Amino acid sequence: MDKKNTNNVETNKKIFRFFSSVVLVAVLAALFGVMWYMRLQMLMTQRFLSIGNYLMIGLYAVLTILVINTFKGFAIGSGRISILTMSQAIAMGLVNAMEFFIVILMTRIKSLMWMTLAYIIVLTVVDCVAVLAVTFISTKVYRMIFPPFTILNIFGQYENDLVIKMNRRADKYRITGEMSCREPLEKITKELENYDAVLINDVPSEIRNDIVKACFATDKRVYFTPKISDILIKGSEEVNLFDTPLYLCKNVGMDGISSAIKRAGDILFSGIGIILTSPIMIVTAILIHAYDGGPALYKQTRCTIGGKDYKIMKFRSMIQDAEKDGKARLASQNDDRITPIGHFIRATRIDELPQFFNILKGDMSIVGPRPERPEIIAEYVKEVPEFAFRTHVKAGLTGYAQVYGKYNTTSYDKLKLDMIYCEKCSVLLDIQLILMTLRVIFTRDATEGVEEGAINANVHNK
């Protein structure tokens, strides 16, 4: 595909996504408009004039755009239909919750609260059906109009399962050829002519740089797996003091003001979390103890900022003495150590709720790298020494790796995800990751265990 055709395809994709998003927002705003005119407005003692009604619908549309965008729900064609609709449904649940409070503040009649809530619930259900229909149809049309690019996989000396993962998304990627990065650059450049894009898959930096330049010269799309240094450099800023280009990597994380806001948010959210989830925690504790008479909670040593040890609190999801052999290991798929109750609380993340007390105490944060056990970290560091970089920030209940990765994500990929957070960390990013966690709770494969017989999620060929 030549440069002109590639540009046209990309332009057409953006146009299609834009109009699909416009249709989605218009449908949702229209549904709210119907509910507003037919029901919600009737609750007010004094109804709006026409301009007031338009402003209410306009406000709803703006909230819809902002919240769906936060959940990355406008990625028509890029994301899976199930993930997109889940993101959009959760987003609309939040939008309608905000609208509920707005209507209550406007009516100021407590007796109408339950009726208003009923209307909002009906609207939310209808919204969920609407986003499913619009997204399903838009995605199917997108895939018919824009078939996947043909991709050449250029591999290095280490094996990974990235090609398998990408081929599972046959609607988006079609890896039809491969060759070693050790082949002469002229041969690689010649082979590129037969493909729309290239995957530079775990290739040494020096060779990768040459291939990237060759792809730029021939207008080829490039996918590549980043090195740790790439992620660190990504957070750099330009220094325009000289006529020689210069970049600065500060490597200091959040500033003092942002850190103070983050800590205040941790105290607020953990306090609210304890209050709201206390009934769930009480019932869970009773069920766990009733199952085998053992303790409902267990404490385990984990590492946080600076490699400092602390005792994390979780609900016990495994049998008592699950590691009686003294060997630390992650849960595997179909692990017989997990109790029936444990399967449920792990899938729903209920086992994580006691960590609100760790957050309130200051051992960890709402958002940050997943706290790992010292023994597991020691195993990871043997093969990936940079894994210790994750402790440059405080460990978290949720985070970049928890949102975009899985329980069994390899140590190297988990490190990359956590390093992206370390470089980009901010209060706004924390808020976005907290909201994205709502989607992860309903994603079953995010809790997949490691392979049978494995003690950790380490990379096997490095």
Query: Per residue in 29-72, pLDDT tens?
Result: 999 999 999 999 888 877 787 898 999 999 999 999 999 999 99
How many percent of the chain have pLDDT more than 90? 63
- Pick among 3.40.50.450, 3.40.309.10, 3.40.50.980, 3.40.640.10: CATH of 149-225: 3.40.50.980
Q: Is 16 helix (H, G, I), strand (E, B) or coil?
A: helix
Identify which of 169, 133, 128 has the alpha carbon closest to the alpha carbon of residue 151: 169
Q: Rounded CA gap, 97 and 45, in Å?
A: 22
Structure tokens at 170: 């046959």
Position 440 scores a pLDDT of 79
Evaluated on CA atoms 42, 46, 50, 55, the torsion sign reads negative
| Residue 388: DSSP 8-state | G
Q: How far is CA 421 from the centre of its chain?
A: 11
Q: Dump pLDDT digits (tens) for 425-442.
A: 899 999 999 989 888 777
Orientation of helix 256-292 relative to helix 427-441, angle to 10°: 20
Residue range(s) of every CATH 3.40.50.980 domain in the chain: 149-225
pLDDT in tens, 182-224: 999 999 999 999 999 999 999 999 999 999 999 999 889 999 9
